[in-house]
Amino acid sequence: MLVWINGAFGSGKTLVAHELKRRLGDAQVSDPEVLGFALHKMLPASEREDFQDLPQWRAGVLSTLARAAAGYDGHVIVPMSIVRDDYFAEIVGGLRSSGVDVRHYTLAATADTLHRRLRWRSAYLLGKALGRDETWAIQQIERCVTALADERYATHVQTDEMTPDEVVEFIANDAGLELIRPRLSSARERLHRLEVGLRHIRI
């Protein structure tokens, strides 16, 4: 099974994906953003626009995930925002057409919630020392929220009042996945959240 976790920036995709992996045990997180940033590094700065617009990114993600799903006995978890209908059809539709059992979830939240989460992430996690902020991500909120509300992006999980643990458990229950590891303690959960966030800072 391939579990695709969609959502606007700040919805918690990466944290949920890694916590789902931890609690399942037999799972692999396959992040298409890795391929996108690799392609950016191969291009001159003037050509580094949204990597999702690169045909080679979409083709590479489709073929790589199809191989991962076919060659792995466990579950493949994919945290990635896709809000364009044509790109969604090309990649997620392509996986399903090739016989991959794709369970798709959109982590939904209000614009206010997403703004708050991104401001926290910028101030607490990235910090000014890295010369990074969440301006671009914040600018995408309205576009993402509007697009992802469409029924094609179901199953929707409204996360405003949910903890990451509750989101993980909802997805596992809906997809029929057995969680073999318990929740972390509050202290360990905070540390885990920080570790995942720091590991996925892109410089």
160-187 pLDDT, tens digit each? 999 999 999 999 999 999 999 999 888 8
Please tell me the distance from the alpha carbon of residue 27 to that of residue 49, in angstroms, as a whole number.
31
Which of 34-38, 53-57, 190-194 has the weakest average pLDDT? 190-194
Answer yes or no: is pLDDT of 61 > 80: yes
Q: What is the pTM of this model?
A: 0.89
Mean pLDDT confidence for 119-137: 62
Answer yes or no: is pLDDT of 203 > 50: no
**Residue 31, by phi and psi: left (phi above 0), alpha (psi -120 to 50) or beta?**
beta
Share of the chain above pLDDT 70, in %: 89
Mean pLDDT confidence for 14-35: 96
Domain boundaries, the chain: 2-199
C-beta separation of 65 from 30 below 8 A: yes
Answer yes or no: is pLDDT of 200 > 90: no
Answer yes or no: is pLDDT of 131 > 50: no
Hey, what's the torsion of the CAs at 110, 116, 120, 122, to 10 degrees?
80
Under CATH, to which class is 2-199 assigned? Answer: alpha beta
